[in-house]
């Protein structure tokens, strides 16, 4: 059984909900990532912030990224997966909720992220094709 912890990339970092979007963008650049999990004051997941969220939800709306916080853009119920979960559970969670990045938690702590590139590296061609069809087909019909 392949687990989430085996396919994730390590070194994921939180962005506190109170942190501004300009700082989030700087952190994304430093880490060379396109998304950051957002944490509350107790380091619990309260959302995920993407580079697209910053552009579309802040800059394109004419807002100042130095005055808008990560928490301002946190929407919906955050999704995550336990590090010991089977890769089938990972795929189900991502397909069911139409998400392309999934934080991995172990003992209530962020230990990594699973992204599309992680899936491409670790899945069979058939598994990857099914995932892509499920996530992108439904997204395109919205």
Domains of the chain: 4-140 (3.10.580.10)
Tell me: the pLDDT tens digits for 59-95?
Answer: 999 999 999 999 999 877 889 999 999 999 999 999 8
3-43 pLDDT, tens per residue?
A: 999 999 998 899 999 999 999 999 999 999 999 999 998 88
Alpha-carbon separation of residue 28 from 15, 17, 95 (angstroms): 10, 15, 25
State how far the alpha carbon of 73 is from the alpha carbons of 53, 91, 124, in Å: 7, 25, 35
pTM: 0.84
């Amino acid at each position: 059984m392949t687990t989430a912890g085996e396919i994730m990339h390590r070194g994921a970092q939180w962005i506190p909900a109170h942190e501004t979007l300009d700082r989030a963008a700087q952190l994304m650049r430093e880490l060379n990532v396109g998304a950051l999990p957002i944490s509350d004051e107790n380091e619990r997941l309260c959302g995920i912030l993407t580079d697209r969220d910053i552009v579309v939800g802040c800059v394109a709306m004419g807002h100042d990224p130095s005055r808008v916080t990560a928490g301002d853009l946190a929407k919906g119920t955050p999704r995550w997966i336990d590090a010991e979960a089977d890769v089938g559970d990972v795929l189900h969670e991502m397909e069911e909720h139409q998400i392309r990045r999934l934080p991995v938690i172990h003992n209530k702590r962020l230990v990594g992220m699973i992204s599309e590139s992680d899936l491409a590296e670790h899945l069979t061609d058939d598994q990857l094709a099914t995932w892509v069809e499920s996530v992108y087909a439904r997204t395109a019909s919205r």
